[in-house]
């Protein structure tokens, strides 16, 4: 049995409430680290609900919920003099699409032995915390609201749409600056072409 099958078997046991602690730990770890495991879990429950005739809507707010739980108490606003609207110092409104996966390879100790410590600047710390964790739409200016406003949904869609629209231009504009000129082009998503 492959490692992936071991996770899937443990997941199946967790679904049935028949899992031991090791199964549960394995599934929780996989779900946190592998987007495909979260998708497996989601689909298996959709299929179960369909099989049992339970009404369900196709929706995925799980990342939004996770992010809201994490950042709820951490909203610090600052007001930008020019734009006139408050810009939260913590990371807001970022959405990972296409699933986020932390690739294999060097992890936390990658940079450990280097000289000089990392100095957080202007609220950058929440960025560190956000990358590598599921990120979802977040309230921008308030700490009490958990649901994103329509303005936030609108801008998230705009950012996504611009990502597709301008990927090619971005590659052309920055390829010369990269150590490997090809990579910006390779990054262009299929949909943008």
Partner 1 sequence: MTARETDQQLVKRAQRGDTRAFDLLVLKYQGRIAALISRYINNSAEVEDVAQEAFIKAFRALPKFRGESAFYTWLYRIAANAAKNHLVARGRRPTSDADVDDAEYFDAAEGLRDTESPEDTLLGDELADVVRSALEDLPEELRMALTLREFDGLSYEEIAEVMECPVGTVRSRIFRARDAVDIRVRAQLRGE
Partner 2 sequence: MIALCSGTAGASCGLSADNEQLINAMLQAADTTAYSGTILLEHNSERQFVSVNASREGGKGSLRRLTSRANAPTEHFSTVGMRTADACALAARYGFEIQQGQPVAGRSTQRLTIKPRDTLRFGYVIEVDDISALPLRVITATPDGQVLERYEFADITIAAESDWPTPPLTRVPGRFLMASLPPGFTVVARRMTPVETLIVSDGFAAASVFIEPAADKLPDGEGAVLHGSTVSYTRGLSMLGQQVLVTVLGEIPLTTARLVADAVRPAPLPGEIDAD
Sole binder of partner 2 in the list 36, 62, 72, 146 (CB under 8 A) = 36
Question: CB-wise, 3 or 57, nearer to partner 1?
Answer: 57
DSSP secondary structure letters along 171-189? HHHHGGGSSSTHHHHHHS-
Nearest partner of 23 among 4, 5, 34, 10, judged by Cα: 10
Give me the phi and psi of 23, to 5 degrees please: -60, -50
Tokens found for residue 44: 């298996």
- Contact flag: residue 36 with partner 1 (CB under 8 A): no
**Interactions with partner 2, residue window 41-80 (CB under 8 A):** 80
Element (H, E) at 155: helix 150-174
149-170: buried (b, 16+ CB within 10 Å) or exposed (e) per residue?
eeebeeebeeeeeeeeeebeeb
- Contact flag: residue 100 with partner 2 (CB under 8 A): yes
Count of positions on this chain that bind partner 2 (CB under 8 A): 85
Residue 46 C-beta: closest distance to partner 2, Å:
19
Question: CB-wise, 31 or 171, nearer to partner 1?
Answer: 31
**Interactions with partner 1, residue window 47-76 (CB under 8 A):** 47-62, 64-66, 68-70, 72
- Contact flag: residue 44 with partner 1 (CB under 8 A): yes
User: Are 30 and 14 within 8 A, CB to CB?
Assistant: no
Binding mask 116-155 for partner 2 (x = CB under 8 A): x-xxxxxxxxxxx-xxx--x----x----------xx-xx
Residue 125 C-beta: closest distance to partner 1, Å:
19
């Amino acid at each position: 049995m492959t490692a992936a099958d071991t996770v899937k078997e443990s997941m199946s046991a967790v679904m049935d409430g028949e899992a031991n602690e090791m199964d549960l730990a394995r599934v929780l770890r996989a779900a946190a680290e592998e987007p495909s495991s979260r998708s497996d879990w989601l689909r298996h429950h959709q299929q179960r609900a369909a099989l049992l005739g339970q009404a369900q809507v196709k929706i995925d707010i799980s990342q939004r919920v996770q992010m809201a739980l994490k950042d709820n108490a951490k909203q610090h606003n600052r007001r930008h003099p020019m734009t006139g609207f408050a810009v939260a110092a913590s990371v807001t409104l970022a959405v990972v699409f296409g699933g986020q996966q932390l690739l294999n390879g060097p992890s936390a100790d990658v940079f450990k032995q280097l000289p000089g410590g990392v100095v957080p600047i202007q609220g950058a710390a929440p960025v560190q915390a956000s990358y590598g964790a599921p990120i979802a739409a977040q309230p921008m200016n308030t700490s009490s609201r958990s649901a994103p406003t329509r303005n936030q949904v609108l801008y998230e869609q705009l950012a996504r749409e611009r990502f597709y629209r301008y990927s090619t231009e971005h590659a052309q504009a920055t390829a010369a600056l990269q150590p490997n000129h090809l990579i910006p082009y390779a990054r262009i998503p299929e949909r943008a072409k």
